Amino acid sequence: MGRNRTRTDPDRYLTKRQGNFHYKRRVPVTIAHLDERAPHVRTSLKTDDRGLARRKRDLLEAADDALWASLITKGVTDPARRRYEAAVKRVEALDFTFHGAGYFEQPEAFDDLVDRLRHVLATGQQDQIMEPLLGAIEVPKMTVSKAFELYCDEIVADELVNKSQVQKDQWKKVKKRAISNFIRLVEDKPMEEITIDDAKKIYRHWLARIAPKEGKATAGASSGNRDLGNMRVLYEAYFKHMGDARRLNPFEGLGFSLKKKRSRPPIPTDWIRDTVMKPGNLATLNEEARGILLIMIETGARPSEICNLEPHAIRLSNKVPHLSIEPREDPDNPREIKTESSRRLVPLVGVALAAAQRHKAGFPLYRNRENDLSATLNKYLRANALLPTKSHTVYSFRHSFEDRMKEGGLEDELRRLLMGHTVDRPKYGSGGSLDWRRRELMKIVLPFDPSIV
């Protein structure tokens, strides 16, 4: 065992001594003078389980690859970064978490420090593992922009897996604004050098826009809170990832009071019935956008939920025709829905049923193009005077649907379920049959001329 060193050998670099597996690997001759462990790296894996030994071996192998690459490149890439990554992998292989040296200065870290020292003494490998285990490895400095790249590509990469490309772009766009504003107002400085004064500079920038001493406000509190919040999250996540979770966050506690949350006004029911749904008023809107709008009127579904419906989610052959609003789980073309409570079945009634029958295959023109859809609908509705005021948008139809359900006497839990809102109690049953939901919605269905579809 341990003689075959090809990458395909599942037991490469593994030897067994006194019942336990060890990792043993020759240091490349070209850098043997730079690695004090030469000619061989030896580490006890503290296990007799072959599967666990292989997993630990993989971490150590990756650590040594990174370390040796840093010694070979001599600055062509980032040697300090490679050495740090190698230290992290080496510590993880020993079943510990990497922490910077500052962590061990905290009284709360005393027990952890003792455990690590005991491990070092027990293995007799002080030269190989002392520095990584005790954080005596320089943590490479990284600028705000580079830290954001690391955040997206590594720290929260798992959160982006199920998002569509449009959703990923939108997610990054909001957070990148905070990064860009910080760089513009401060500089693209190393994360370690960000101070409370830097954070206050961002706070004062937004304060001047939210509550100017003279003139009108040019921004709302939510915009400032979003920037400060995104910087706070990035700072915390970055240093936790780098093994320094206890570092004080300069953005902590900075924010603005939200006295009143603006919400889109609903469109009056008579306006929808007599103006929007008046024959001819939607005639020049392209068919798919028109179909989405008509479905929205009688389902309250979000435009993005409707335009991304797959054909199998438009269930017209069921006893109760309905939409199944759900995430798209195609690994090549995934898409999240807003929250888990957004997963729901919504009966099709009135003009929504007629529009769905016309668009059985969904809306390919706007699939993964929800931003284009919203722009198209808002532009058309404004250009044709189909919105009551400048404050109304296409999203106001969703609020109108909720108001119509309330005025129609539909119970609160059903309204929440159909809107995709959280129900504030433990979930029991399915929330009522589709037939019952349809009967309730028929209480508020609007009359329509079939020609508008």
Answer yes or no: is 249 within a domain: no
Residue 280 domain flag:
yes
CA separation, residue 121 to residues 91, 127, 133, 302 (Å): 15, 11, 12, 61
* Intra-chain end-to-end CA distance of the chain, in Å: 73
- Helix (H) / strand (E) element for 315: namely strand 314-315
Q: Tell whether 263 is covered by a domain.
A: no
Q: Tell me which residue of 342, 301, 341 sits closest to 425, measured CA to CA.
A: 341
Residue at 8 is within a domain: no
- Does residue 15 sit in helix, strand or coil? strand
Q: 5 lies in a domain? A: no
Choose the final residue of a domain: 133, 168, 190: 133
In 3-state terms, what secondary structure has residue 306?
Answer: helix
Pair (120, 160) in one structural domain = no
Domain total for the chain? Answer: 3
CATH number at residue 365: 1.10.443
The amino acid at 377: L
Q: Is residue 254 part of a domain?
A: no
Strand partners, 314: 323
Would you state the structure tokens that stand for residue 402, as one six-digit string? 């909720």
- pLDDT (tens, 9 = 90+) of the chain, 453 residues, equals 444 456 678 899 999 988 889 888 988 887 777 777 788 888 888 889 999 888 888 888 887 887 777 666 544 456 666 677 777 777 777 778 777 777 777 787 888 888 888 887 877 766 667 777 877 777 677 899 999 999 998 889 888 888 888 898 999 999 999 999 999 999 999 999 999 999 999 999 999 999 998 889 999 899 999 999 999 999 999 998 887 788 899 999 999 987 655 567 999 999 999 999 999 999 999 999 999 999 999 999 999 999 999 999 999 999 999 999 999 887 778 888 878 888 999 999 999 999 999 999 999 999 999 999 999 999 999 999 999 999 999 999 999 999 999 999 999 999 999 999 887 655 554 556 899 999 999 999 999 999 999
Residue 405 shares a structural domain with residue 359: yes
Choosing from 241, 261, 296, the residue where a domain stops is 241
pTM of structure: 0.64
Instruction: Establish if 309 belongs to a structural domain.
Output: yes
Same domain, 321 and 444: yes
Checking DSSP bridges between strand 20-26 and strand 322-325, what pairing results, if any? unpaired
> How many other C-beta atoms can be found within 10 angstroms of the C-beta atom of residue 199?
22
Do 148 and 72 lie in a common domain? no
Together in a domain, 311 and 414: yes
Domain of 120, in residue numbers: 14-133
Same-domain status, 199 and 322: no
52, β-bridge pairs: none
Whether 329 and 358 share a structural domain? yes
Is 167 found in the same domain as 220? yes
Q: Give the Cα separation of 235 and 219 in Å (integer).
A: 24
What does the block give as tokens for 128?
């190989």
Interacting residues of 242 by C-beta distance below 8 A, sequence separation 6+: 100, 139
Instruction: Please check whether residues 182 and 227 belong to one and the same domain.
Output: yes
**Residue 247 covered by a domain:** no
Do 97 and 154 belong together in one domain? no
Q: Are residues 323 and 206 in the same domain?
A: no
Q: Which of 81, 101, 133 represents a domain boundary (last residue)?
A: 133
Site of tokens 């006890």: 44
Q: Are residues 37 and 172 in the same domain?
A: no
